[in-house]
A and B are shown apart, each in its own frame.
Chain A
Amino acid sequence: MDDMHVDPELRRLDGALRDAVAPDGDALARVRGRVAAGLPAGASASGGAWPLPPWWRYAAAGAAALALVVVGALGAVALTGRSSATGFSSTVVPPAPDVAASSASGASGTAGAAAAPSVASGVANDARAAVAPGGQSLALPAPNPISPPAASCSASPTVQFQGRGLAATGIATVAATQQVGTVNVTVQQSGADPTAALGTVQTRIAAVRDALTRAGVPAASVQVSYYRSYGDTSTRQYTAYASLQATVTGADALAEATRAVLGVPGITAYSTSSQAAGRPTQQEVQNAVGQAATQAKEMAASTAAAADVRLGDVQSVVAQPPATCYGPSGQERIVQVTVTYAIR
C-alpha cells in the first residue's frame, strides 16, 4: 500500500480484499486461452481494425464483383457443355445430399487409391475389380477423421446421369460398437448457514465419487468442474452447489455408473451417450462403405433399367470420410460412396 498513514484496520481490510480478488493461475490460464482463441477470429472479423490501406473497401468490392462474373461465366459454360454432349444428360434423383460430408472432394479419389485393397464387401469389391484394369480410382475414407456435427441426417441416395456416365451415391450409417457416455451430477444446498450448505455439498460430492468408484469408474474419469457458493445479500440465504462429470466407455458401464450415482440421495443426475462419441474401428467404417457401395450399385442398376440404358465399366468409386449428423436416434456417423459407371 502506498499510503503509510493508513489506519491499521483499513490496511488489514485492504489486504483481505487483495487476497479475495487475486486471480489464481488457473483463472488466468482460462482467460488467456479464451483470448488466444479469439485473436485470429477477432483479427479477421474486425477487418479494418488492423492497418489496412484506405482503399481496401473498393478493392474488396471489385474482387467480389469479379468473382460473381467468373461464377456466372463458369455456370454458363457448364450448362452449354451439358446440352451439347453427345449423350443425354438428365438428373433422375435431383437433390444433392445435405450432409456434413460434403467437404470430401473428388480429389480423394486419387489420393486414397492406395487404400483400395482394404475394401470389405459388396459392390466395392466388384468396383475394385472393374476399376483396376482401366487405371481408374477408388478412394476409401480413413476411419477416424470426424467432421464436427453440423447438419441433420437428411442425405438421401442419389443417381445422376452425367454425359455418358451414371453416378450413383449410396449412404450408410457407421455402426460403432463403442459408446462413450457422460454422467452429469449436480448437487445444490441452500440455507442460512453458508458453512453448513457447503459442507453438505462436499459430503454429497464425496458420496458420488465413492459410488462411481464402486461402479468401476476410474478416478481419472471423474471431474468436478465447478464448486461455487453464492448468497443473496438481502435475504441472507446462501446456496452452495457443485457439478461433477464422469466419462464412461461402453453402454453397460454407463448404465452401471448412472445407477450408482442415482443411489446417492440429494443429487440431480443425468447421463448422455452417443455412438458417434466413440471412434469407429477401421472394420466398422469398411462395413459401412460396403453397404453404401452396394446401395449405390443397386440404385444404378435399377435406374439404368428404368432409363433403358446398359451400364458399362466402373469409372470411379469415391467414398467420403465418416461425417457426423443428427438423425432420429441422435448423433450418427454416415459414409457416402459414389460409384460412377460408363454407359454403353
Chain B
Amino acid sequence: MSTDATVAPPSHRLEQAFLDLYDREAPVVLAYLRGAAGDDAEDLAAETFLRAWRRWPSYRATDRPVRHWLFRIARNLAIDRVRRRGRLMVLPLLRETGGAGDALAAGVVDRLQLLAALEALAPDERELLAMRAAGLSFAEVGAQLGRTEAAARMAWHRSARRLQAHLER
C-alpha cells in the first residue's frame, strides 16, 4: 500500500548522520552568525541546525549544496534577530582566561571596535563580510546572495572599505 520505496533507517542513525553534518558545517555557520548576529550566534546556530533537522526530508529532494541550504536557514534567522534588536551590541562569549587580564582586555577592545564597526554597516554589507569571515568563497557568497562570483567580490571590496573607514573614524 505504501508508496515509500525506501525504508527510513533507525532514528539513531539519522541523528548520528545529522550530527556528522553538524560537526562538518557548524564552525562555518557559527562563525557567520557571530559576525552577522553577535551574541545571539549560539542561539541562532542551535536553532539553525534544529530547523535543518526538521526540514531534512525537503532538503533531500533538492540538489542544492548542504552548506548553501544551511546558510539560507541561518541567514533568515539572523535577519529576523537583527531586525528585532536595537543598537546594543554584545560581544560573543568570552571565556575567562585567568591571569592575562591586560591581554584579555586588549583583545576585547580590538574585537569590540571591529564588531562595533561591523554593526555600523548596512545589514547586507555586514552579512556579506560575515560570510567571507566565516570562510565562504566568493562563489558561495554569490550563490547565497543571488549574485555572480564577480559581483560578490566587488560588493565585498566595497563593504570592506566601508568597514575600514568606520574603524578609522
B88 touches A228 (CB 8 A): no
Binding-face segment, A26-34, A148-156, A272-280: A26-34
A217-241 CB contacts (< 8 Å) to partner B: 224, 226-234, 238, 240
> Is B122's beta carbon under 8 Å from chain A?
no
Contact of B35 among A21, A32, A55, A242 (CB under 8 A): A21
**Interface 1/0s, chain A 1-36, versus B by CB < 8 A?**
011001101100110111011111011101110111
Contact of A21 among B32, B46, B55, B105 (CB under 8 A): B32
B104 touches A198 (CB 8 A): yes
- In the complex with contacts A42-B54, A51-B57, A32-B87 CB distance below 8 A: no
> Is A38's beta carbon under 8 Å from chain B?
yes
Cβ-closest chain B residue relative to A16: B114
Between A and B, 17 residue pairs with Cβ closer than 8 Å are A6-B157, A17-B118, A18-B31, A20-B114, A24-B95, A27-B30, A28-B27, A31-B49, A32-B19, A39-B19, A40-B11, A51-B4, A202-B104, A226-B93, A228-B39, A230-B39, A233-B116
A3 touches B22 (CB 8 A): no
3 A-B pairs closest in CB distance: A17-B133, A21-B34, A34-B46
Cβ-closest chain B residue relative to A28: B26
The distance from the CB of A110 to the nearest CB of chain B, in whole angstroms, is 33
Chain B residues, CB < 8 A from A234: 87
Cβ-closest chain A residue relative to B149: A2
The distance in angstroms between the C-alpha atoms of A40 and B10, with both chains bound, is 12
| Residue of B32, B35, B119 with most partner-chain A CB within 10 A | B35
B90 touches A35 (CB 8 A): no
Chain B residues, CB < 8 A from A22: 27, 31
B1-15 CB contacts (< 8 Å) to partner A: 1-4, 6, 8, 11, 14-15
B96 touches A242 (CB 8 A): yes
> Is B78's beta carbon under 8 Å from chain A?
no
The distance in angstroms between the C-alpha atoms of A227 and B107, with both chains bound, is 13
B32-74 CB contacts (< 8 Å) to partner A: 32, 34-35, 39, 41-42, 45-46, 49-50, 53-57
Chain B residues, CB < 8 A from A46: 53-54
The distance in angstroms between the C-alpha atoms of A30 and B42, with both chains bound, is 8
- In the complex with contacts A31-B42, A230-B39, A10-B95 CB distance below 8 A: no
Cβ-closest chain B residue relative to A17: B133
- In the complex with contacts A10-B161, A51-B8, A229-B94, A199-B105 CB distance below 8 A: yes
A10 touches B164 (CB 8 A): yes
B3 touches A54 (CB 8 A): yes
The distance in angstroms between the C-alpha atoms of A30 and B14, with both chains bound, is 21
> Is A135's beta carbon under 8 Å from chain B?
no
- In the complex with contacts A13-B163, A28-B27, A32-B19, A228-B34 CB distance below 8 A: no
- In the complex with contacts A6-B157, A233-B89, A227-B31 CB distance below 8 A: no
- In the complex with contacts A18-B133, A51-B6, A232-B138 CB distance below 8 A: no
A38 touches B53 (CB 8 A): yes
A43 touches B53 (CB 8 A): yes
The distance in angstroms between the C-alpha atoms of A278 and B87, with both chains bound, is 44
B89 touches A232 (CB 8 A): yes
Contact of A23 among B30, B88, B160 (CB under 8 A): B30
> Is A194's beta carbon under 8 Å from chain B?
yes
A194 touches B27 (CB 8 A): no
Cβ-closest chain B residue relative to A206: B101
The distance from the CB of A31 to the nearest CB of chain B, in whole angstroms, is 5
The distance from the CB of B135 to the nearest CB of chain A, in whole angstroms, is 7
> Is A49's beta carbon under 8 Å from chain B?
yes
Cβ-closest chain B residue relative to A29: B26
